[in-house]
Amino acid sequence: MSFINLKNVVKVYPDGTQAIFNSSLSIEKGELVVFVGPSGCGKSTLLRMIAGLEDVTDGEIDLDGNRINEIDPSERDIAMVFQNYALYPHMSVYNNIAYGLRSRGIKKLEIEAQVTNVSELLQIGDLLSKKPGQLSGGQRQRVAMGRAIARDPKVFLFDEPLSNLDAKLRVQVRLEIKKLQRKMGTTSIFVTHDQTEAMTLGDRLVVMNKGVMEQVGTPMEIYYHPKTKFVAEFIGTPSMNFITGSIKDKTFKASSFAIPAKYEDKDDVILGVRPEDISITKATTGVKCKVELIEKLGSSTVIYCVDMKENQLCVSTQSRASVEVGDTIHISTNNKALHFFDRETSKALTK
Amino acid sequence: MKKVQFKSKYTQYIFLAPTLIIISIFLYLPIVQTFRDAFTTQDAFGFGRFFAGWDNFKFVLSDPSYLVALKFTFIYIFVITVISCSLGLLLAVQANKVIHGKSAYKTLLIWPYAIAPAVVGVTAQYFFSERFGILYALFNSLWGFDWTANIFDAYIYLFIAGSWKQISANFIFFLAGLQTIQKSVIEASLIDCRSSLRRFWTITFPLLMPTTFFLVIINITYGFFDTFGIIDTTTIGAPSGETKTLVYKAYIDGFRGLDLGAAGAQSIIMMLLVLIITIIQFRYIERRIHYN
C-alpha cells in the first residue's frame, strides 16, 4: 500500500469557489513528488490540505495507512517549509528548531542533541544564537529546513521554498534539497510553479491546472508524452509550438504544410512540436519561414519565426546558426517528435 | 522631487503660525503658569503673589489626603490597565477568529471608544444609581453593596466605569496587532504545537509585545489624566475622598479650594511621576520586546 493516498479529494471554499476537483494520487514511501502548475492552480491548496491547514471538503487523505482528514496538523507527523520560511521572529535559531520538539514534551538533553545534529547537517551551527532578522535569505531557508528536519517527520512538505531566493542560490539550494532528501529518504512533496525546479527535483511530477491533476508521471514521461495540451505547453522552455489543422488519410494538414500522422481522420487537431525538435534545413524542402527575433543564449539559439500563413513558430538550435533577423529559412522536424491534441478536449490523440 | 521655494523666507512662518499659536496658548502658557503657581502663594483675594519656594510642595507631600489620592491613583491605574488590556486582548483574539459577521463584531466592540469620559461616567451612573441601577441592585443583593459608604464598593464602581471604555481602545489596537502577525508564522506553529493555549503564550503573545507595551503606556497615561470626567460624574471622590485621583484632587484643590499653589505643585509632581514611569518603561521593558 502506498504511503500517502489521496482519494477523490475535493476542496470547495465557503464562498463557493472550487479549488480542487476530484483528485486522487498515491505517493510511495521515500518518493519526492512535485506539484507543479501556474499560480492559482490549486497546488498549494492541495499541499495545505495534506498539512491540515485547510479542511478537506470531500474525499480522504491517508498517511501510512491512517485517515488523517480530521487529525490536528501537529499530530500528523508532517513538517512544512513555507515560502517565506515563517520562522518565529522573536526566537533564536536554536529555539526555532527546538520549538516543535519542546511542545512535544521531548527531554531537554535529547532536544539539544537533535538541534546540534541538524545544525551540523545544514551547517548553521554558528547561527544558533541569532534571530531570524539577522539572517540572510539563504540562511533563513536553511533554518526553516532545520526546523522541519529536527522532528524527523514522516513527510516533508515544501511550499515554494525557493521562490524568495536569488537565481544562483536557488539552483544551489535545489541541489542541496535533493541530496538531503536522498540521504534521509523521507517522503516529500514539493510545490513549485517553476517547471525547471519541478523537472530537476521530482521523482514524479503532478502537473496541475485549475484544480485538476492534468498528468502524473516521471519528468521524462511528462516531457515526452504529455497527455494534454496544457501539460505540453507548461513543461519545457521555450514553450512547445502549436499549429492547428486536421488529419485526413494519415496526413496532418496545416495551412502551410502537411506531415504524416498515423491517427484516425479528425477535423480539429492541434499539432505540437517542441522548439528543440525543429531544425533548420539547407534544402528548400522544409517549411519556409521568415525570422522575426533571435535570442542567443550561448548554449543554444532561439529563433522566433513566422511561416507564409502567419503561423508563429519557435526554433531552438544548438548550432551557432548564422541566421539574422529578416532572413528566410527552411525548417523541418523529426516525425517521431510530434504531438497531436484534440482541439476540443485538449487531450492527446491516441492511435 | 521638485523643491518648492518661497520668495520670502518669512512665508514659512505664516504657515507654521496657526499651530504654533494654538500650542503656545493652550499648552506652553499653562505650563509656565503652573510653574509660577507652584512656586508662589496668592492671598485669598487674589491681590498679591509671593514667592514661596518649596513650601507648596512641602505642604502637598505632608498632606495625608494627598497620599490617599496617590495610593488610589496607582491602584486605579494598575487595575484599569490589567482589566482593560486583558479583556481587550481576549476579545481581539476571539474576534480575529470569527469568520461570519466579523465587521459587525468589530464595530460593536469599538463603539464605546468613541464616548467621552464624562458620558461614560453618566452611563455608569445609570448602572450604579441607588434608586434604579441594575448593577447596584445586583451587588447590593449579593453583599450589601453601597459605594457611598464603602471604599471597596466605590473602587468597584470606578473600576468598571473606567475600564469599560478602555477595553474598546485596547481591543482595536490588539486586533490591529494580531493582523500584523504573519499568517504563515501562525500556521507553522499549528504544525509545531498542539495546544492552542501554549501557542498563544509562546508565539502570538510575544509577537504582540510591541502593541502591549504601547497600550500599557497609553493606559497608564489614561489612568493618570483622563479620569477626571468619570470621577466627577460618578463618585466625586466618595465615600470621603478615597476615590480621588491625583488629577481630580488637583482640580478640586485648585478650582474649588482656590489653592492654586497646591494645585500647581501637585501638577508638577504628577508630571515627574509620569516622566519616571515612562523612562523606566523605555529603559527596562522595551529592550525585551521584539519588533519586526
Q: Are B160 and B108 in contact (CB under 8 A)?
A: no
Nearest-angstrom CA–CA distance, B92 and B89 = 5
Asked if residue A284 has pLDDT above 80, the reply is no
Of A53, A74, A89, the CB nearest to B292: A89
Residue B52 lies in a domain: no
Q: What is the torsional sign of CA A122, A127, A129, A130?
A: negative
Question: What pLDDT is stored for residue A210 in this prediction?
Answer: 93
Give the domain A240-342 fold.
OB fold (Dihydrolipoamide Acetyltransferase, E2P) (2.40.50)
- Interchain proximity A74–B193, CB inside 8 Å: yes
Q: What is the mean pLDDT of residues A218-246?
A: 93
Q: Are B219 and B278 in contact (CB under 8 A)?
A: no
Contacts of B204 in chain A (CB under 8 A): none
Q: What percentage of chain B carries pLDDT values higher than 90? A: 25
Q: Show which of residues 88-147 on chain B sit within 8 Å of chain A, judged by CB atoms.
A: 99
Q: Mind telling me how many Å the CA of A148 is from chain B's nearest CA? A: 9
- Interchain proximity B188–A72, CB inside 8 Å: no
Q: What is the mean pLDDT of residues B47-67?
A: 85
Nearest-angstrom CA–CA distance, A184 and A141 = 18
Q: Which residue in A54, A88, A130, A158 has the most chain B C-beta atoms within 10 A of its own C-beta, making it the best mutation to test that interface?
A: A88
Q: What is the mean pLDDT of residues B69-86?
A: 92
Q: What is the mean pLDDT of residues B179-205?
A: 92
Give the domain A4-233 fold.
Rossmann fold (3.40.50)
Cell, residue A63:
498517511
Interface residue B21 vs chain A (CB under 8 A):
no
- Interchain proximity B195–A86, CB inside 8 Å: no
The CATH code of the domain that includes B248 is 1.10.3720.10
Q: Are B153 and B70 in contact (CB under 8 A)?
A: no
> What DSSP letter does each residue of A36-80 carry, written as one string?
E-STTSSHHHHHHHHHTSS--SEEEEEETTEE-TTS-GGGS-EEE
Of A79, A88, A100, the CB nearest to B185: A88
Contacts of B184 in chain A (CB under 8 A): 82-84, 86
Supply φ then ψ for residue A70, to 5 degrees: -100, 0
Pairing mode, if any, of strands A266-273 and A278-281?
unpaired
The total number of structural domains that make up chain B: 1
Question: What pLDDT is stored for residue B244 in this prediction?
Answer: 87
Nearest-angstrom CA–CA distance, B212 and B205 = 9
Of the candidates A175, A148, A147, A146, the one whose C-alpha atom is nearest the C-alpha of residue A162 is A175
Mean pLDDT of chain B: 87
Of B99, B192, B290, the CB nearest to A103: B192
Contacts of A72 in chain B (CB under 8 A): 194
Question: What pLDDT is stored for residue B97 in this prediction?
Answer: 84
pLDDT-based confidence at residue A149 (cuts at 50, 70, 90): very high
Specify the DSSP element, H or E, that contains B142.
helix B134-143
Least confident of A299-303, A319-323, B60-64, B162-166: A319-323
pLDDT digits (tens, 9 = 90+) for B219-259: 888 888 888 888 888 888 778 778 888 888 888 888 888 78
Question: What pLDDT is stored for residue B41 in this prediction?
Answer: 84
Say what the ipTM of the complex is. Answer: 0.85
Nearest-angstrom CA–CA distance, B79 and B161 = 12
Cell, residue B11:
512665508
CB pairs under 8 A between A and B: 64
pLDDT-based confidence at residue B202 (cuts at 50, 70, 90): very high
Asked if residue A2 has pLDDT above 80, the reply is yes
Nearest CA in chain B to A148: B192
Give start and end residues of each alpha helix (H) in chain A: 43-51, 93-102, 108-121, 137-150, 167-184, 195-201, 219-224, 229-234
Residue B26 lies in a domain: no
Specify the DSSP element, H or E, that contains A8.
strand A4-12
Nearest-angstrom CA–CA distance, A175 and A162 = 11
Q: What is the torsional sign of CA B49, B55, B56, B57?
A: positive
Mean pLDDT of chain A: 91
Q: What is the mean pLDDT of residues A231-251?
A: 91
Asked if residue A305 has pLDDT above 70, the reply is yes
Nearest-angstrom CA–CA distance, B248 and B118 = 13
- Interchain proximity B198–A52, CB inside 8 Å: no
Q: Which residue in B191, B202, B209 has the most chain A C-beta atoms within 10 A of its own C-beta, making it the best mutation to test that interface?
A: B191
- Is residue A298 classed exposed, middle or buried when 0-12, 13-18 and 19+ CB atoms within 10 A define those classes? exposed
Residue B45 lies in a domain: no
Specify the DSSP element, H or E, that contains A154.
none
Q: Mind telling me how many Å the CA of A169 is from chain B's nearest CA? A: 23
Nearest-angstrom CA–CA distance, A83 and A81 = 7
Contacts of A149 in chain B (CB under 8 A): none
> C-alpha angle with apex A156: A155 to A160, nearest 5 degrees?
145
Contacts of residue A134, defined as CB under 8 A and 6 or more positions apart, other chains included, come to none
Question: What pLDDT is stored for residue B245 in this prediction?
Answer: 86
Question: What pLDDT is stored for residue A31 in this prediction?
Answer: 94
Name the DSSP letter for residue B291: P
Question: What pLDDT is stored for residue B171 in this prediction?
Answer: 92
Q: What percentage of chain B carries pLDDT values higher than 70? A: 96
Q: How far is CA B270 from the centre of its chain?
A: 13
Contacts of residue A242, defined as CB under 8 A and 6 or more positions apart, other chains included, come to A229, A233, A270, A271, A272, A341
Range of the domain at B226: 67-288
Residue identified by cell 501537529 is A74
Of the candidates B287, B271, B237, B204, the one whose C-alpha atom is nearest the C-alpha of residue B34 is B271
Question: What pLDDT is stored for residue B44 in this prediction?
Answer: 67
Q: Residue ranges per domain, chain A?
A: 4-233, 240-342
Question: What pLDDT is stored for residue A334 in this prediction?
Answer: 81
Question: What pLDDT is stored for residue B85 in this prediction?
Answer: 94
pLDDT digits (tens, 9 = 90+) for B111-150: 888 888 888 889 998 998 888 888 888 988 888 888 888 8
